[in-house]
Amino acid sequence: MLLISILGVLMAVGLLLEVLNFVARDFLCGGRRVDALRAAIQATQKDLAQADNKMNDVKADLRKALNDLDRVKSDFQSTEKEIARKQKIDPVLVYLVGPEIGSGTRFRAPLTKVLAAENADPNQKLMWSKEAFVEIWVNSEDRARQLAWDEFPAKQGYSIGAFVRTGDADVVGKAA
């Protein structure tokens, strides 16, 4: 009988262990922790999807800002080129003719030259496309005209405008 009672006790303990294993399996094996981890993973995946959407929005804003920056940069460069172009001053050529500079009165007249189109030198075309003046220091306008025509004859394509006496306050702006 002792053997039967030991066997009965062992069976009862075995049955109790099976019931305990069935009921407390989640507690003993960490089943509840696995569920909590799965829930945390799902929440993290949801947060990652939201973060990805926010990053895509930020990337779109950044692309727009970079496009705006490129447009502003090109506008700035074109404005800088326009400013540089407007600040560029074409040269004014002044040919000094006459005996001695600084003696007498200064007379100035516009000077142009007509170049033959078939054999014109490109450098000559460039030079005579700029504003040019002849300046002479003498005592009279007639003497100035005579010296200018001696130096720049009409038969070579030169034309001389009206002489203006420079240095007087009322005529300074008339001839350069």
Residue 168: pLDDT band with limits 50, 70, 90 = low
Give me the amino acid identity at 87.
Q
For the chain, percent of residues with pLDDT exceeding 70: 89
Q: Nearest Cα to 140, choosing from 131, 148, 151, 150? A: 148
Q: Which of 115, 83, 80, 109 has its CA nearest to residue 97? A: 109
Alpha carbons 28 and 38: distance in angstroms, whole number:
18
**To the nearest 5 percent, what fractions of the chain are helix, strand and coil?**
60, 15, 20
pLDDT digits (tens, 9 = 90+) for 79-105: 999 998 888 887 888 888 877 776 778
Residue 59: pLDDT above 90?
yes
